[in-house]
Amino acid sequence: MTIPSLHLFVQTLILGVLVGGVYALMSSGLTLIFGVMRVINVAHGAFLVLGAYLTYVLFQNLKIDPLVSILITMPLFFGLGWVLQRYMLSRIESPEQTSVLVTFALALVMEGLLGAFFQTTVRSVKPSYATEALVFLTYRFPVTRLMGFGVALLIMLLLYLILQYSQVGRAIRATIQDPRAAQLVGINVTIVSAFTFALGVSTAAAGGSLLSMIYSFNPSSQADWIARTLSIIVLGGMGSLPGALVAALILGVMEQLTAIVITLYWSPIVFYFFLFFTLIVRPQGLLGEIIREKG
Partner 1 sequence: MTRLRTFAPVLLVGIFLILLVFPALQHSQYYQHIMVMTLMSAVMASSWNILGGYTGYTSLGHAAFFGLGAYLVAWTHNHYGWHPFISTWFLGLVVTAVALVMGWISLRTQGSAFVVVTIAVVFIFRLLTLNLGSITNGAKGMTQPRPGWGGVPWSPVMIKIPFYYIMLFLLVLTIFVSWRIRQSKFGMGLVAIREDEGKAESVGIDTMMYKVLAFGISAYFIAVAGGIYSYFFTYIDPGFVFDIFVSVTMVLMAILGGRGTLWGPVLGAFIMQPLSNWVVAEFGGTQIHLSVFGGILLFVMLFMPQGILPTVSEYVKKRVMARRAATAG
Q: Which residues bind partner 1 (CB under 8 A)?
A: 38-40, 88, 91-93, 96-102, 104-116, 119-120, 219, 223, 227, 230, 234, 265-266, 268-269, 272-273, 275-276, 279-280, 283, 291, 293-295
| Contact residues for 91 (Cβ-Cβ < 8 A; gap 6+) | none
User: Of 44 and 145, which CB lies nearer to partner 1 in the complex structure?
Assistant: 44
Taking the complex as a whole, the smallest distance from the CB of residue 41 to partner 1 amounts, in Å, to 10
Beta strands in the chain (DSSP E): 133-136, 139-142
Judged by CB, which is closer to partner 1: 171, or 248?
248
Beta strand ranges found along 76-184 (DSSP E): 133-136, 139-142
Q: 108-117: which pairs have CB atoms within 8 A and are 24 or more residues apart? A: 110/43, 110/46, 110/47, 110/49, 110/50, 110/222, 111/46, 111/49, 111/219, 111/220, 111/222, 112/219, 114/49, 114/50, 114/53, 114/219, 115/219, 115/220, 117/53
Q: Which is nearer to partner 1, 194 or 233 (CB)?
A: 233
Find residue 133's DSSP bridge partners.
142
> Nearest distance from residue 167's CB to partner 1, in Å?
30
Question: Judged by CB, which is closer to partner 1: 21, or 219?
Answer: 219
Q: Smallest distance, Å, CB 42 to partner 1? A: 8
Output 114 or 245, the one with its CB closest to partner 1.
114
Q: How far is the CB of 236 from partner 1 (least distance, A)?
A: 14
Q: How far is the CB of 131 from partner 1 (least distance, A)?
A: 28
Phi-psi region of 63 (alpha: psi -120 to 50; beta: other; left: phi over 0): left
